[in-house]
Amino acid sequence: MNILLVDDSRLARQELRRLLQRHPDATVVGEAAHADEAQQRIGELQPDVLLLDIHMPGRSGFELLAGLDGAVPQVIFTTAFDQYAVQAFEVNALDYLLKPVDEQRLAAALAKARMALVAEAEPETAEPPAARELLRETDQVFVKDGERCWFVRLADVKLLEVADNYTRVHFHDVRPLITRSLQHLEARLDPKVFFRANRQQIINLKWIESVEPWFSNTLKIRLRGGQEVEVSRQQSIRFREALSL
């Protein structure tokens, strides 16, 4: 995995080099201090991955990407600013790391890069969604509904439910619709945190306020914020088995 570091700060590039030394398959093939230099280096070195800053002298990281011709490397943004996260995912960035870059977050971003590169090289053997690394509650995900976008921590998502051909995602005070199926989302979410309550709903266990017996040996769960979810009979059994002492 050949990596090009693009950052106007020499100290930031040195720190990234230090962190990358712990990943034997990651080779830093070059550095660039601004977008014009980066564009030239990309053409010369053909890196697999860019670790790319956003604010640089001259053109920004986004403007660099817009000016590239041909194949574009996988992009992991590294920046001190959190307000560009939505824009970053709109240009299909793999990840968005805030400075100072956390070692574990960088490792997770590199894991995404490995998967993306394997998928590019061997699309017929790429892992299906169910086999991908599970999303953790500390992960942030990009949610888009029409013209509105959010970058939200999974820990803040308390409920997902079927809405016709969409899935409605409940977090904060909004309920956007996304095109992913509930089955697809269930395969990506950590089952220790997200529980399939019935055919229509997945709940975040950390948001449970109370549980009470319901009809025919089922359960009714109240989430913080007032939503009530009736757990199916089979899932009520699984809930008791998984969470009882």
141 with 155: CB under 8 angstroms? no
Which residue, 126, 152, 180, sits at the end of a domain? Answer: 126
Place 125 in a pLDDT band, splitting at 50, 70 and 90: very low
Look at residue 132 in the predicted model and tell me its pLDDT: 56
Tell me the angle at which helices 103-121 and 10-20 cross, rounded to the nearest 10 degrees.
70
Q: Are residues 103 and 176 in the same domain?
A: no
Task: Answer whether residue 238 is part of any domain.
Answer: yes
Task: Answer whether residue 133 is part of any domain.
Answer: no
Total of domains in the chain: 2
Look at residue 32 in the predicted model and tell me its pLDDT: 96
Domain CATH code at residue 18: 3.40.50.2300
Domain CATH code at residue 159: 2.40.50.1020
d(CA 73, CA 65): 9
Q: Supply the pTM of this predicted model.
A: 0.55
Which range marks the domain in which residue 195 is found? Answer: 140-243
Q: Are residues 190 and 95 in the same domain?
A: no
- Whether pLDDT at 222 is above 60: yes
| Mean pLDDT for the stretch of residues 179-190 | 88
d(CA 223, CA 203): 8
Least confident range from 31-35, 120-124, 228-232, 240-244: namely 120-124
Q: Are residues 11 and 117 in the same domain?
A: yes
Q: Are residues 115 and 147 in the same domain?
A: no
| Among candidate residues 74, 78, 131, 136, the one with its CA nearest the CA of residue 103 | 78
Q: Are residues 71 and 31 in the same domain?
A: yes
Which residue, 103, 126, 149, sits at the end of a domain? Answer: 126
221 with 196: CB under 8 angstroms? no
pLDDT tens-digit profile of 90-124? 777 889 999 999 999 999 999 989 888 887 665 44
The angle formed by the CA atoms of residues 73, 79 and 45, to the nearest 5 degrees, is 25
Q: Are residues 21 and 44 in the same domain?
A: yes
pLDDT tens-digit profile of 36-88? 999 999 989 999 999 999 999 999 999 998 888 767 899 999 999 888 887 88
